[in-house]
């Protein structure tokens, strides 16, 4: 079972990842100090499971009616699109106006890093310096909410395709209580897809 030390470790990594992301794009509008205060306040509350299930269903409904299928290995495309959906829903008062962050990093499943989802800060720097080049993308992306809840739209589908899980895949909502999944943020930037893709308004397609 995940202990509070893991949540604290995720928080520490997340704040460092936000600072790293701000070094590429300072327009995110939320400083590390401001986010630390927000996290300290939000983490004192019990996660609202109904709210997060509503968020999940809202995102899935959009993907289904628009023909988005087989999300395996399309983490950046799906995560960046979901981020846009949630921000738009907040503007329309469908969901509370709380920060949602596009998060890039590594994931360990049952203690082992998921194949091809390993990335370092130096890898991120090289990607940004190279500019738009889909063939260079070797990373994993997910959403982190204001209380460190993780919403991962694609990981379980990728694990299923790799034969690492037998259950029918679904969107993962993590409160860092399941020791099978351990997320390690490297960079947080809501415009990351545009830094490494083509600058289009639509998320680029990651295969």
Candidate from 22-26, 138-142, 148-152 with smallest mean pLDDT? 22-26
Whether pLDDT at 71 is above 80: no
Arithmetic mean of pLDDT over the chain = 80
pTM of the model: 0.84
pLDDT attached to residue 164: 87
Report how far apart the first and last C-alpha atoms of the chain are (Å, whole number).
33
pLDDT attached to residue 188: 93
Query: How many Cβ atoms are within 10 Å of 173's Cβ, its own excluded?
Result: 17
């Amino acid at each position: 079972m995940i202990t509070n030390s893991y949540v604290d470790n995720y928080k520490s990594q997340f704040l460092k990842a936000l600072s790293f992301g701000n070094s590429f794009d300072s327009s995110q509008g939320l400083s590390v100090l401001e986010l630390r205060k927000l996290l300290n306040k939000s983490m004192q509350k019990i996660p609202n499971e109904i709210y997060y299930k509503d968020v999940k269903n809202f995102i899935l409904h959009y993907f289904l009616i628009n023909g988005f299928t087989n999300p395996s290995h399309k983490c950046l495309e799906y995560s960046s699109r979901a981020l846009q959906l949630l921000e738009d829903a907040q503007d329309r008062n469908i969901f509370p106006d709380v920060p949602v962050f596009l998060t890039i990093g590594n994931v360990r499943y049952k203690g082992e890093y998921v194949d091809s989802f390993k990335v370092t800060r130096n890898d991120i720097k090289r990607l940004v310096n190279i500019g738009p080049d889909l063939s260079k993308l070797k990373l994993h992306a997910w959403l982190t909410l204001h209380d460190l809840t993780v919403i991962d739209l694609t990981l379980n589908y990728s694990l299923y395709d790799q034969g690492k899980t037998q259950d029918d895949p679904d969107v993962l909502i993590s409160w860092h209580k399941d020791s099978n999944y351990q997320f390690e943020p490297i960079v947080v930037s809501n415009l990351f897809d545009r830094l490494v893709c083509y600058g289009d308004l639509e998320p680029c397609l990651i295969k």
